[in-house]
Chains A and B, each alone.
Chain A
Amino acid sequence: EDKVVQSPLSLVVHEGDTVTLNCSYEVTNFRSLLWYKQEKKAPTFLFMLTSSGIEKKSGRLSSILDKKELFSILNITATQTGDSAIYLCAVEYSGYALNFGKGTSLLVTP
């Protein structure tokens, strides 16, 4: 059965800390892995990863995919309170379907 597992489910850190969020998957006919940040309503897109070992970076956020071990990590350095959100991982597979994980709820305290 196709599945996407995120860990941890929730995390509390202090401003300035670095966090690593994990996403592992088991899907047939993998196409891409996507990271989203959900703050209020619609999740906002962060990264799309299709190739192993190539880091994608946007400011303090970065992400990398390991297609051999079937996982991805999302790193956030020098966290700020504005990073508090739910981070969703989704895997696109055959037929262009999306399979979402349950999310990691991140709280950054001042």
Chain B
Amino acid sequence: ETGVTQTPRHLVMGMTNKKSLKCEQHLGHNAMYWYKQSAKKPLELMFVYNFKEQTENNSVPSRFSPECPNSSHLFLHLHTLQPEDSALYLCASSQERQGANTDTQYFGPGTRLTVL
């Protein structure tokens, strides 16, 4: 148990559906991340939130819309996705200590998304 939970674990949706992925961390961390893991591709960083503010958006298409209502919760709203968006979507969190070069990221189990 890493302290980061994601729901749902599996999701199948059509291209016209709207759905949301949820991530919750119970570690008191200040930063949260969304990653995309496609088959045979490197882990791709999508969004970073620090103290609820979005600090990175790595050229992610607008059909992915993140939301961070507080430091413990992170959502990824999905609409009009494409089949190539099918992947494992991972959430992570880290402490983001002042002056620290790198903080360990704790990953959730991921949501396996299939777009038909």
B81 → A minimal CB distance (Å): 18
Binding site for B on A (CB under 8 A): 1, 36, 38-45, 85-86, 88, 90, 95-100, 102-103, 105
Secondary structure type dominating chain A contacts: strand
Q: Does B110 contact A (CB under 8 A)?
A: yes
* Additional A-B contact list (5), CB under 8 Å, known A42-B45, A96-B88, A96-B112: A42-B35, A86-B105, A97-B110, A98-B90, A103-B104
Q: Is the CB of B43 within 8 A of A36?
A: yes
Closest to A45 in B: B42
A38 proximity list for chain B (CB < 8 A): 102, 104-105
Q: Does B106 contact A (CB under 8 A)?
A: yes
Among candidates A1, A41, A45, A86, residue contacting B56 with C-beta atoms closer than 8 Å: A41
Interchain residue pairs with CB less than 8 A apart (6)? A36-B43, A41-B33, A41-B45, A98-B37, A100-B107, A103-B105
A88 proximity list for chain B (CB < 8 A): 105, 107
Distance A43 CA – B10 CA, assembled complex (angstroms): 23
Q: Is the CB of A98 within 8 A of B42?
A: no
With A38-B102, A97-B88 as known contacts, state yes or no: A44 contacts B42, CB within 8 Å: yes
Closest to B42 in A: A45
With A41-B48, A42-B43 as known contacts, state yes or no: A97 contacts B9, CB within 8 Å: yes
Interface size grouping (class) on chain B: 20 to 34
Closest to A44 in B: B42
Distance A100 CA – B97 CA, assembled complex (angstroms): 21
Closest to A36 in B: B43
Distance A66 CA – B112 CA, assembled complex (angstroms): 27
Distance A40 CA – B58 CA, assembled complex (angstroms): 15
B110 proximity list for chain A (CB < 8 A): 97-98
B1 proximity list for chain A (CB < 8 A): 1
Using a CB-CB cutoff of 8 Å, which residues 81-116 of chain B contact chain A? Answer: 88, 90, 101-102, 104-107, 109-110, 112
